[in-house]
Amino acid sequence: MAKSPIGIVGLGPLQIAMARRLAGDGARVLVHDLRPEERKPLVSGRPRIEIAGSLADIGAECATVITTIDTLDGLMAAIFGTEDRTGFARELAPGSLIIEMSPGSPRHPPRLQGALGPHAIAVVDARVLTGGPDEALIGTLGIALGGYIDFVERAADLLAPLGRIERTGSLGSARTAAITTALMRARLQLAEREATTLAEAAGLSPAVIGVLRDAARGTAASLPMAETTRLLTDIHAGESLAAELGVTSAAEANSPSEGIRTLIRSELSKRGS
């Protein structure tokens, strides 16, 4: 009997690239997004990738579903449905697996598992730590996976064509890893911006500043910023987690992050987002 397709719910450039990579590795991929314009790049010339007519079709046909939804309300609606639309979880067979890749609090995946566990549906949380669409196409993403070991190994086998898998621990730990990576990356970029401003004010030439920047990075390549539009969500989740754990005071958490937010909004503006 043929293997069931891999479901992907929530499409952006990264998810489209992931679908293409998985299909190129021989998997059947069934995708769905509530925004029709996001489906168009997949419609023509993409063998082994199909567009699902509804979320219910995803649940009925797939044993594994990858979800990436930017808001918690949107994620819950896709999984559990609304008054006018059936969520895909209602149609999933017992033993199915959800690989949850959305941004947000590390507390959400365990709650999701609590709601789905009685129906014998498993959840792992997964986040892309390094890379973007280009890396997804060639299978060099860095992906964190958190959850119960049997489910993590099942997800790791499925996601292996996409790149290197980092097993981060319990359910929710992949989101914590993504939050940590996002904060580190954003703070490094903010520090670089401030240092460059200082160097320019001190009279160093652009050429010299470029050499210093490359030396500080350890590479001539720019810092990757996978899924930039989700970075603010991760930073907010990081602040909430820090406050919950008592790691920093509210003032310490909010002050540097305002600079990071300004930097990210500037980057998004330059990219035309």
User: 124-166 pLDDT, tens per residue?
Assistant: 999 999 899 999 999 999 999 999 999 999 999 999 999 999 9
Query: Last residue of some domain: 116, 139, 170?
Result: 170
Residue 95 has pLDDT above 80, yes or no: yes
Residue 59 has pLDDT above 70, yes or no: yes
What is the pLDDT averaged over residues 188-217? 80
Residue 48 has pLDDT above 50, yes or no: yes
Tell me: do 253 and 155 sit in the same domain: no
How many CA atoms lie less than 13 Å away from 90 in the CB half-sphere? 13
Give domain status of residue 134, yes or no.
yes
**Cβ within 8 Å of residue 267, ≥6 positions away:** 225, 228
Placement of tokens 């730590």 in the chain:
129
Tell me: do 33 and 112 sit in the same domain: yes
d(CA 41, CA 237): 31
Query: Last residue of some domain: 170, 188, 222?
Result: 170
Give domain status of residue 219, yes or no.
yes
Per-residue model confidence (pLDDT) at position 187: 76
Query: Strand pairing of 85-86 and 81-82?
Result: antiparallel
**Confidence class of residue 253 from pLDDT cuts 50, 70 and 90?**
very low
What's the whole-model pTM score?
A: 0.78
Give domain status of residue 15, yes or no.
yes
How many CA atoms lie less than 13 Å away from 48 in the CB half-sphere? 17
Tell me: do 111 and 19 sit in the same domain: yes
Number of domains comprising the chain:
2
State the CATH number of the domain containing residue 72: 3.40.50.720
Tell me: do 164 and 108 sit in the same domain: yes
Residue 8 main-chain phi, psi, to 5 deg: -130, 120
Percent of the chain with pLDDT over 90: 49
Tell me: do 235 and 249 sit in the same domain: yes
Name the residue range of residue 132's domain: 6-170
**Confidence class of residue 231 from pLDDT cuts 50, 70 and 90?**
low
Query: Last residue of some domain: 170, 187, 220?
Result: 170
Tell me: do 196 and 264 sit in the same domain: yes
Per-residue model confidence (pLDDT) at position 29: 95
Tell me: do 182 and 162 sit in the same domain: no
d(CA 137, CA 125): 21
Per-residue model confidence (pLDDT) at position 166: 94
User: What does the pLDDT look like over 135-146, one tens digit per residue?
Assistant: 999 999 999 999
Give domain status of residue 56, yes or no.
yes
Per-residue model confidence (pLDDT) at position 154: 96
d(CA 118, CA 115): 7
**Out of 17-31, 47-61, 172-186, least confident range:** 172-186
Tell me: do 216 and 126 sit in the same domain: no
Per-residue model confidence (pLDDT) at position 25: 93
Tallying the residues shown for the chain, one arrives at 273
Tell me: do 58 and 162 sit in the same domain: yes
User: What does the pLDDT look like over 34-43, one tens digit per residue?
Assistant: 877 767 666 5
User: What does the pLDDT look like over 211-228, one tens digit per residue?
Assistant: 877 777 654 344 344 444
DSSP one-letter string for 3-58? PPPEEEES-SHHHHHHHHHHHHTT--EEEE-SSGGGTHHHHSS-TTEEE-SSHHHH
Tell me: do 26 and 145 sit in the same domain: yes
Give domain status of residue 1, yes or no.
no
Give domain status of residue 144, yes or no.
yes
Per-residue model confidence (pLDDT) at position 251: 40
CA dihedral sign of residues 68, 172, 228, 238: positive
Question: Which of 207 and 43 is assigned the larger pLDDT?
Answer: 207
Tell me: do 185 and 244 sit in the same domain: yes
Mean of all residue pLDDT scores within the chain: 82
Per-residue model confidence (pLDDT) at position 46: 79
d(CA 61, CA 52): 9
Beta bridge partners of 163: 141
Tell me: do 164 and 227 sit in the same domain: no
- DSSP class of residue 68 equals -
